[in-house]
Structure 1
Amino acid sequence: MEIFNISGLREIDLSSNNLSGSLPPNIGSILPNIERLLLGELTNLVGTIPHSISNCSKLTILGLSGNKLSGLIPNSLGYLTHLQYLDLERNNLTSDSSLSFLISLINCRNLTLLSLYLNPLNGILPASTGNLSTSLTKVTASSCKIKGRLPNEIGNLRSLLFLDLSGNNLVGSIPTSIGNLENLQRFDLSNNKFTGFIGDYLCKLQSLGAIYFSQNQLSGSLPNCLGNITSLRQIYLGSNKLSSNIPPSLGNLQDLVVLDLSSNNMVGSLPQEIGNLKVATQMDLSMNQFSNAIPTEIGGLQNLAYLSLRHNKLQGAIPDSMSNMVGLEFLDLSNNNISGIIPRSLEKLQYLKYFNVSDNKLYGEIPSGGPFKNLSSQFFIYNEALCGSSRFSVPPCPSSSKHKSNRKKLLVVFILLVIAVAFVPITFVILWIRYRRDKSAPQQADSLSTIITERISYYELLQATNALSESNLIGSGSFGSVYKGVLRSGTAIAVKVFNLQLDAAFKSFDTECEVLRSLRHRNLVKVITSCSNLDFKALVLEYMANGSLEKYLYSHNYFLDTKQRLSIMIDVACALEYLHHGCSLPVIHCDVKPSNVLLDEDMVAHLSDFGISKLLGEDQGDLYTKTIATLGYIAPEYGQDGLVSTKCDVYSYGIMLLETFTRRKPNEFEGDLCLKQWVSYSLPEAVMDVVDVNLVTPTGNHIRKELDVVASIMNVALDCCAESPARRTNMKDIVGMLQKIKIQLSAC
């Protein structure tokens, strides 16, 4: 660039322009008087940072963020003694294992900002980090592959306002010297591997506005003094191993906007003081062990838009006071032990878009006014005795019987008893005759005891499927074929007929029967019955009108947008979460892939095909098998050693999540390159290069925000695909992360 030959220049700002090239090797000699050099966000600035930059001795501001610079960060930066602002974030810059460039920066005594975010530094923070400028107010080094411990000397940087070391591989406990950073306002250590307790040292940070400690392995209790940091506005402690009550002192945080304690092991009652958090807009207490009733004081949170209490052990009724939470848009109370009725007063919540009370003990009428007009029936399943409108897939509520006399009631009971006494012997005779008659029939339905809704004979199956004709064939797999059928009642069914010429098909049939006997979840394909004898074995399944996810991804006649794809993958994640964590014995599916994800008429996803699934015994973390699943989706330990665990499903899910948003099959790559590597090389800057070209276009509205959402989804997928099973995220956390991303997507 000719501009670099003007030796008298003191300031250059070419940021955010369509410029290409590299920094001149002799930049220090041709710009000896430069004081401010800002070259961030250029189209194609490549190459290295020249060592000669140390000759720009008057430089106070150096901004090179958002480029494609590579190579080592030069130690010669330490000669820029007037440097105040150093921004190298979002490049491909590296360092040696001891991050020696940081040591050189000790000489920059006026440094106030240091940003290294998203560079693969791959080193250990030296203890001398604590000797950096005492004027330093902001340090961001997130997603830099920094490892080792956080040095105790970090507490010497007493002017720090902003410290972000998230998304690294830091281990050990958080040093108590952090308590010396009395001016700290934002503290982010999320997505690391910190262990140990959150100590009282945190309470010395009386200027703290935001704590981000989620996705670590922190344990123990929340410090009671946390409620004394009245400046706190955001607390993110989700996905740790915290095991205490919520301290009532948290109610003192009257400026708190976000409270996230999800996916921990927290216990006890929700404190009444939670009702003091009047300005809170988001509260996630899901995936814990909270018990007893929801406090009525929660109704005072009129600004709360998001409340998740799912997967706890809460009891009692839904407080009528929740109808005062006029700002609510999202309310999830699913998977608890909540009883009683759904208060009709909740119809007043005009902004409510998501209300899930499935898997509880509720009864009575489901309200039908206000926001309930648009809610899915799936939000009310698996309760005790809910009734109401047919669109909720519940029986109608019985009419009032207040005016019936006791005499009439006794008469009805007497008549029913008489009928029952007469019916039992008659039924016995009919069944005996039918048994004698059918004993000679070639085939007969063999029920799956706990999930049958009706018995269907072999002849009815033939009639329903046009004698298993090819025109009714809707799919084939390793162990048989699936046919569409229509019963005489008009009910559509899918009939999975096993190929008994294959020995493995017998085992596959028995496995599916054993596994599906005790499972029930909205995102698993429902089995109606089975039909079995020596010559014929079939499962009768609920028909999925929209076919498989694979069809929607790879057929030109179908299209799924970002929101639909994310919703489908959340459905599958919920199914796996149930299999791994919600059953008496964990179930490993072993063959998670798009062709085994089926879509009903409402585009709700259902996981199918349990033919090679495994049941883990009590206290059994993994087991060995010789059964091989589908290539491309198999976890390394499964393919190499035959070792399967729930983490194998997590790996397969991660691959499928990548496939869903890239529309690239995992088995179409050659050589050492694979789908997960291809994606990881492109994140986060080049997400546009890997995302399905049909999904987002350069002219689309809010393209940048939507690409950021897709990048977040792919980061979750890559966490699932870690080589080591121990480093893979569990399905509980995956569900939580994807649901939060879905909320972000809704805001795009």
Structure 2
Amino acid sequence: MKTSSFSTFTDVLSLSLTLLLLLSLPSPSLGAAKCNADDKKVLLQIKAGLNNPYLLASWTPDTDCCSWYALDCDSKTGRVIHLTIFDGNVSAQIPATIGDLPYLEMLDMNRLTNLNGPIPSSIAKLTNLNFLRLKSNRLSGVVPTFLSQLKKLTFLDLSFNFFSGSIPPSLSQLPNLLALHLDHNNLTGNIPDSFGSFAGNTPDLYLSNNFLSGQVPKSLGYVNFSSEIDLSSNNLVGDASFLFGKNKTVQFVELSMNSFQFDLSKVEFPDGLTNLDLSVNKIFGSLPAGLTKLNLQFLNVSYNSLCGQIPQGGKLQSFDSTAYDHNKCLCGAPLAAC
């Protein structure tokens, strides 16, 4: 499966959210509270449930758990609020006991070699959680509906795993969500119609590299994605032109590797659009002159059924011919003259 051309932006957004959460921690001091005894007991159970991996070697019963690697405590209460276990050799499932850290705000378990199995239902008990990243593991099963109970979530990333089945419509009930990453899995079925009516602001949406099918719900045309929508590398069909609009704020639109079919000449693009990938679809018509007014940093409309002269001006001639190749009858710089 291909990697999104906008992955750098995604990583920057993810890092920014992580840093904001870390900066919200109270400043450490000599009088900081020691680790809560109940949390310490749970952490040792989590370590055992992960088969005592080397990256948790500092988790020993005779030391204060607030000094352990891969976690942070609140300096006033000693309760564990951040758990960040990543880049290690782990062969286990997520321990159910992870749901027994009631003050946890951030759970980040990613790039663990063989972290497998389903997401345990006990995670629904973590009602203070605002950041959940389980990226780049070997997790499987369905995306659980109980995640919609975590009302404080601002960031949810389950990408690069083996989740299957359909996307739960109930995820739209998360009122504070800013970004939803379900890309690079084995998800099937339609994009939920409810994603056109999130309880709060519409989050940036990453659904690429799955097996989603059908048409994009019309409801998505009534919402405004603040930065990015990525539906690439699926089996989606029909009209997706309603995702655009002059007054929308979306900057990155990635629709490549589908079977979308609509007249591009009738599309009005947002003024702030900087990255557009429509390649490998069945899009027809001509390139609208409005594209010359955009500050495009990336453009790819190759492998479609477009015709006519490429408009002159703006950034359109700054891209090489590969951005326009394999269309029905496009012409003009950087392609051959009409």
Check whether TM > 0.5: yes
Change over 3 Å in CA distance of 1:342–1:351 after alignment to 2: closer
Does residue 328 (structure 1) correspond to residue 328 (structure 2)? The answer is no
Choose which of 142, 163, 176 in structure 1 pairs with 2:110: 142
Choose which of 311, 328, 337 in structure 2 pairs with 1:361: 328
The answer to whether the Cα contact below 8 Å between 1:293 and 1:316 also exists between their aligned partners in 2 is: yes
Tell me what 2:248 maps to: 278
The answer to whether the Cα contact below 8 Å between 2:189 and 2:211 also exists between their aligned partners in 1 is: yes
* Structure 1 residue 136, shift from structure 2 partner: 1.0
**Partner letter of residue 296 of structure 1?**
K
* Structure 1 residue 74, shift from structure 2 partner: 6.4
Tell me what 2:210 maps to: 240
Tell me what 2:231 maps to: 261
TM-score (norm 1): 0.36
Query: Equivalents in 1 of 2:36, 2:250: separation in Å?
Result: 49
Tell me what 1:250 maps to: 220
* CA displacement 1:505-555 (0-9 Å, x = unmatched): xxxxxxxxxxxxxxxxxxxxxxxxxxxxxxxxxxxxxxxxxxxxxxxxxxx
Does residue 194 (structure 1) correspond to residue 163 (structure 2)? The answer is yes
Percentage of pairs with the same residue: 28
* Structure 1 residue 323, shift from structure 2 partner: 2.9
Tell me what 1:473 maps to: none
Tell me what 2:315 maps to: 349
Change over 3 Å in CA distance of 1:171–1:363 after alignment to 2: closer
TM-score (norm 2): 0.75
* CA displacement 1:581-602 (0-9 Å, x = unmatched): xxxxxxxxxxxxxxxxxxxxxx
The answer to whether the Cα contact below 8 Å between 1:239 and 1:264 also exists between their aligned partners in 2 is: yes
How large is the Cα RMSD of the aligned pairs? Answer: 3.2
* Structure 1 residue 321, shift from structure 2 partner: 3.0
Change over 3 Å in CA distance of 1:198–1:219 after alignment to 2: same
Structure with the larger helix share: 1
* Structure 1 residue 265, shift from structure 2 partner: 0.8
The answer to whether the Cα contact below 8 Å between 1:340 and 1:363 also exists between their aligned partners in 2 is: yes
Change over 3 Å in CA distance of 1:168–1:308 after alignment to 2: same
Tell me what 1:702 maps to: none
* Structure 1 residue 110, shift from structure 2 partner: 2.0
Change over 3 Å in CA distance of 1:211–1:159 after alignment to 2: same
* CA displacement 1:675-705 (0-9 Å, x = unmatched): xxxxxxxxxxxxxxxxxxxxxxxxxxxxxxx
Structure with the larger strand share: 2
Change over 3 Å in CA distance of 1:86–1:283 after alignment to 2: farther
The answer to whether the Cα contact below 8 Å between 2:230 and 2:253 also exists between their aligned partners in 1 is: yes
The answer to whether the Cα contact below 8 Å between 2:36 and 2:79 also exists between their aligned partners in 1 is: no
Tell me what 1:124 maps to: 93
Q: Give the number of equivalent residue pairs.
A: 288
* Structure 1 residue 139, shift from structure 2 partner: 0.7
Task: Report the structure number with the largest CA radius of gyration.
Answer: 1
**Partner letter of residue 94 of structure 2?**
L
Choose which of 75, 80, 88 in structure 1 pairs with 2:70: 88
User: Which SS does the other structure have where 2:205 is aligned?
Assistant: strand
Counterparts of residues 22-171 of structure 1 (less than 5 Å): 35=32, 70=54, 73=57, 76=60, 87-88=69-70, 110-130=79-99, 132-144=100-112, 145-171=114-140
The answer to whether the Cα contact below 8 Å between 1:183 and 1:206 also exists between their aligned partners in 2 is: yes
Counterparts of residues 477-626 of structure 1 (less than 5 Å): none
* Structure 1 residue 320, shift from structure 2 partner: 2.9
The answer to whether the Cα contact below 8 Å between 1:331 and 1:354 also exists between their aligned partners in 2 is: no
Does residue 315 (structure 1) correspond to residue 275 (structure 2)? The answer is no
* Structure 1 residue 87, shift from structure 2 partner: 4.6
* Structure 1 residue 36, shift from structure 2 partner: 7.9
* Structure 1 residue 352, shift from structure 2 partner: 4.6
Change over 3 Å in CA distance of 1:164–1:363 after alignment to 2: closer
Tell me what 1:225 maps to: 194
User: Which SS does the other structure have where 1:153 is aligned?
Assistant: helix
User: Which SS does the other structure have where 1:267 is aligned?
Assistant: strand
Tell me what 2:275 maps to: 306
**Partner letter of residue 304 of structure 1?**
L
Query: Equivalents in 2 of 1:223, 1:315: separation in Å?
Result: 27
Tell me what 2:26 maps to: none
User: Which SS does the other structure have where 2:238 is aligned?
Assistant: coil
Change over 3 Å in CA distance of 1:354–1:203 after alignment to 2: farther
* Structure 1 residue 88, shift from structure 2 partner: 2.0
Tell me what 1:289 maps to: 259
The answer to whether the Cα contact below 8 Å between 1:286 and 1:308 also exists between their aligned partners in 2 is: yes
In structure 1, list runs of 5 or more residues that go unmatched: 1-32, 38-52, 59-68, 90-107, 368-374, 381-386, 389-396, 398-748
Query: Equivalents in 1 of 2:67, 2:271: separation in Å?
Result: 42
Query: Equivalents in 2 of 1:152, 1:121: separation in Å?
Result: 20
Q: Which has the higher contact order (CA 8 A, sep 6+)?
A: 2
Change over 3 Å in CA distance of 1:312–1:196 after alignment to 2: same
Query: Equivalents in 1 of 2:78, 2:32: separation in Å?
Result: 16
The answer to whether the Cα contact below 8 Å between 1:256 and 1:277 also exists between their aligned partners in 2 is: no
The answer to whether the Cα contact below 8 Å between 2:86 and 2:110 also exists between their aligned partners in 1 is: yes
User: Which SS does the other structure have where 1:222 is aligned?
Assistant: coil
User: Which SS does the other structure have where 2:235 is aligned?
Assistant: coil
